[in-house]
């Protein structure tokens, strides 16, 4: 079965096509009392290959986070075979609220061990 591309973006890395999109996670919880700091909602970047063998979910880090989390669902993940979750190092452009296609290419390259 093919991957639905409606509302999603495409990117090519080394001749393979990947589909990606960003979703907002649950909104931040409001405390019962006290000051409520204006916070952006947590976002997750979802990347899937056209053959569905590479599926990852990257939690876009907030300011102050030491690392970003990556959840792996597909069987093609050469950097850490058999892993279901790993920490990804922080990059210079990873804290933007919405990632660019260049950032997605870099993340896929890191996952595949190309960088």
How far apart are alpha carbons 40 and 36 in whole angstroms? 12
How far apart are alpha carbons 29 and 21 in whole angstroms? 24
Per the confidence metrics, is the pTM higher than 0.85? no
Give me the torsion for CA of 77, 15, 108, 6, rounded to 10°. Answer: -100
Selection from 81, 35, 78, 77 nearest residue 55 by Cα: 77
What residues does 72 pair with on adjacent strands? 56
pLDDT at 90: 79
Q: What is the pLDDT of residues 22-64, one digit of tens each?
A: 888 765 555 566 655 555 567 888 999 988 888 999 888 877 7
pLDDT at 20: 93
Per DSSP, helices labelled H in the chain are 101-111
Domain residue extents for the chain: 9-21+41-111
Selection from 59, 45, 60 nearest residue 11 by Cα: 45
Selection from 59, 56, 58 nearest residue 73 by Cα: 56
Provide the pLDDT confidence category of residue 68 given band limits of 50, 70 and 90: confident
């Amino acid at each position: 079965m093919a991957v639905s591309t409606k509302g999603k973006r495409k990117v090519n890395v080394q001749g393979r096509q990947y589909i990606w999109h960003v979703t907002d996670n649950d909104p931040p919880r409001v405390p019962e009392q006290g000051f409520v700091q204006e916070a952006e909602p947590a976002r997750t970047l979802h990347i899937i290959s056209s053959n569905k063998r590479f599926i990852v979910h990257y939690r876009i880090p907030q300011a102050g986070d030491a690392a970003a989390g990556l959840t792996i669902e597909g069987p093609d993940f050469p950097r850490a075979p058999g892993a279901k979750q790993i920490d990804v190092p922080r990059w210079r452009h990873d804290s933007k609220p919405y990632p660019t296609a260049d950032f997605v290419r870099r993340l896929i390259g890191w996952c595949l061990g190309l960088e």
